[in-house]
Chain A
Amino acid sequence: MLHRHPALETVARCGLPLAMLAVLVLVPVIGGYGVLVCAVVLWKASGVWL
C-alpha cells in the first residue's frame, strides 16, 4: 500500500526519528526517567522486530 502513496512512504521511512522526537517532546509528561525507559524499550524492541 505504501508503494502507491509516495508521500506516505516518505514519512513511514522516517518512522524512527519521528518516534524519537515524540519521546523528547513528551519530556514534561514522562520526565527524565521516562526518556531513558522509552529509549531502552525502543532499543530492545529493535532487537526483536528489526
Chain B
Amino acid sequence: MLEYILKRVLFFIPTLFVITILTFALSVHSPGDPVEVMMNINAENAQDDNKIAKMAEYEKMREKLHLNLPVFYFSLSPLSEPDSIYKISKKLHRENLLRINDNHGNWQAVSNYYQSLIALEDKLIITKVVDTLADKLNLMKQALNDLYYRHEDEHIQQKIAFISQQAKVLNHQEINAAVDHLSASFKVLLSDETLWKCYVPALYWYGSENQYHVWLVGMLHGDFGISYYKQQPVIDLILDRIAPTFVFSLLSVIIAFLVSIPIGMNAAIHKGTLKEKSTTVILFVLYSLPGFWVATLLINYVANAEYLGWFPVKGLSDFEEGASAGEQLASCLHHMVLPLFCYVYSSFAFISRQMRGSMLQTLSQDYIRTAWAKGLSPRKVYWKHAIRNSLLPIITLIASIFPGLIAGSVVIEQLFTLPGLGMLAYEAQVIKDYPVIFTIMLFSAILTLIGYLVADILYALVDPRISFGKK
C-alpha cells in the first residue's frame, strides 16, 4: 500500500509539471496587457498626456512583472523568428511584426522595416513645418501609425505609397530620405523572402532567466505572483479566503453524504413502493432547480423581512462587539443555513441515485442471497454486508470533491456575499486578474490529483478484494 502511494505521488510530479506549464501558457496568452491593467490605464480614461513619463513607468512595471524576460527555458519556433522577440516591449507591435515575419520569413528584413518605421516617426515628430503643410505632416503620421499594426502587404504598400505622395509635397530632405529608406526596406522585405525558414523549426535555449522559471521558483517558495487588481501577493488573498470556502464545502459534503446514503439505501430496499417513488420525485425536482434561482428565491422570500425574514441576507456573522462565544457561534450558524442549503440540496438526488443503483446491484449478488439464507436480520444484511460494496461508486465521487473544497461555489458565494475563494475567483474573472485565476486553477488541479489518490486509498479500505501491493 505504502509503495503504491509513493508510486502515485512520484507520478504526480510530471503531471504537476505539465499542469504548471499549461497554467502558465494560458496566463501568458491571455488577452490584454498586464502592465496596463496594473497601472490602471484604460480606454475609459480620456486623459492622455505625459506619454514619456507613462512609458518609463510602463517599462518599470514590465520589469517588475518579469515580462522583459523570455517566456520559457527554450523556444521551438520557425527558423525565421528571432530568439530575442520578447525584447520588443509593446505587445501589439511584437504580434504584428511576427505576422509580417510569417508572411515573408526574413526577420532581418522585418527588423529593418520596423527600424525604418521608427526612424521616420522620429523625423516626423521633430520636424516643424509651415502651417499650410501641417495637414500633410499629420496625414503622414496617421498613415505611419497604421503601419505599426498592419501586416497585409497590399495595405502596407498602399500606405507607403500614400506617405511618399505626401512627402513629395512636403519636400523635406530628411523626411524624404527616411521615407525612401522605409520604402526600400519594405521592397527588400518583399524581394528577399525566405519563406522556407517558416517551415524549419529552430530551438533556442534561454537558460533559467525566463518568465516560467521565475514563476515556478516563486511558486515553490509560496510566491504565486501579485494580483493585478489588489496589487497584493496572490497567496495572501487565497489564504484570507480559504477558510469559509473550506468550511462550507466540507460541511456540505458531510451533510450531503449523511443524508443521501440512507435515502439511497432506503430507496433500494423499498424499490417500487409509493414512498420510494415520491422521495425520488421530490429529489429530482430539487435536482432540477438551478442553484442561482433557488438562492435568489431564498434571499427574496426567506431572508426578506417583507415576507419571512428568517435568515440574514449576507455574510458569515453579525454579532456585536463583546458577544459571548455562544452568541458568536449562534450568529455564524444562523448565517450559514441558507448558503449551506444551496450548497447541498442538489447533491441529495445525485448521490442518493448513485447509492440506490449501487445498492440494488449489490443486493442481487450471491453473497447477499447467502446472508438471507443464513437467516441474518435485514439490519445486518443491509448495514453490514451490503453497504460496504455499495459504497464503491460513491467513493469515486469523493475524488471530485477535493477541487470543490477550494473553488467553492462561485454563484452561492456571490449571492450571499461570502468571503470565500469562489467569490475571489469570480471577482478575478470579472476584472481579468489572471494571476489569481490561474493560481486558483492550479490549486484545483493539485487537489483533483489528491482527490484521486484519496479515492484509491479508500477503495482499498472499503473493499478488501482490492489490493495495491504485489501478490
A binds B: no
Report which B residues bind A (CB closer than 8 A). Answer: none
